Amino acid sequence: MISAGENTIPELLQLRRELAAEYDLDERRFAIGGRNFSILSVQDSYALLDRIDPEEFVKDEQMPYWAEIWPSAIALSSWLTDQLTMEGKRTIEIGSGVGLVSVVAASCGASVLATDYSGEALRFVRYNAMKNGVSLGCARLDWRNVQCSERFDFLFAADVLYERLNLLPIANAIDKLLKPGGKAFIADPRRSMAEQFLGIVSENGFRVTSISTKSEGGSQPVPVNIHMLERKAECR
């Protein structure tokens, strides 16, 4: 668990030095839900391609998507502050990247577990949580083989529906990680792949409600859909 407080300052500074020695960093500010957030990421994620071990890539085909702050994460962060009661909710984010959604959810009173397949990403999550004065947990999670036995009230994911081979594993992970009565919120910039995913979850016991919104964090707004998933048997 990453805890906020004065005793985190030396750790924060040390982690910033370590990250700066390994990456070209970019720090952006976001005004979300009446609060300002400072989020550290990588300046150029494409520069990380040279760091991928070919043998590891053949095994996992993992690209450094974690290193960017995607429009869907900005839109989902803003939407949850306006539309959800987070206080006291046990929450997990899958594919958290550098942790914007998790940090914002924690700032709203949720008990958050931020997860990503990349251990590199979780270092940025730790930094961003300390920088913004919130407490949350971090863990590595492979949605193809979920080992987490805990169940959650809310599950968040932003910009994870980009490869067909991930669609069924993500659907299975959601089913395994949600409590009875829990809800998942999946944000996506209206990719065609999302339609296939919604078909999969609809065929496997989930009702989908889609909300249209947009990300305001860039030079121009980006349309984003937030898909709320609930088990059909619990919607009666």
Q: Is the pLDDT of residue 194 over 90?
A: yes
Asked if the structure places residue 56 within a domain, the reply is: yes
Q: How far apart (Å, rounded) are the C-alpha atoms in residues 216 and 220?
A: 7
Q: Is the pLDDT of residue 18 over 60?
A: yes
Q: How far apart (Å, rounded) are the C-alpha atoms in residues 219 and 213?
A: 16
Q: How far apart (Å, rounded) are the C-alpha atoms in residues 42 and 20?
A: 10
Asked if the structure places residue 53 within a domain, the reply is: yes
CATH number at residue 68: 3.40.50.150
Asked if the structure places residue 85 within a domain, the reply is: yes
Listed residue (92, 91, 37) closest to 69, CA to CA = 37
Q: Is the pLDDT of residue 62 over 80?
A: no
Which range among 38-52, 153-167, 216-230 has the greatest average pLDDT? 153-167
- How long, in residues, is the chain? 236
pTM, rounded to two decimals:
0.91
Asked if the structure places residue 218 within a domain, the reply is: yes
Q: Is the pLDDT of residue 45 over 70?
A: no
Cβ(73)–Cβ(218) below 8 Å: no
Q: Is the pLDDT of residue 61 over 60?
A: no
Give pLDDT, residue 57.
45
Q: What is the pLDDT of residues 72-100, one digit of tens each?
A: 999 999 999 999 999 999 999 999 999 99
Q: What is the pLDDT of residues 153-163, one digit of tens each?
A: 999 999 999 88
Give pLDDT, residue 59.
47
Q: Is 85 exposed, middle or buried (0-12, 13-18, 19+ CB in 10 A)?
A: exposed
Count how many domains the chain has. 1
Cβ(98)–Cβ(69) below 8 Å: yes
Asked if the structure places residue 1 within a domain, the reply is: no
Summary mean pLDDT of the chain: 89
**Least confident interval from 34-38, 65-69, 80-84:** 65-69
Q: How far apart (Å, rounded) are the C-alpha atoms in residues 54 and 207?
A: 40
Give the domain range for residue 179: 6-234
Q: Is the pLDDT of residue 149 over 80?
A: yes
Asked if the structure places residue 229 within a domain, the reply is: yes
Q: How far apart (Å, rounded) are the C-alpha atoms in residues 76 and 225?
A: 9
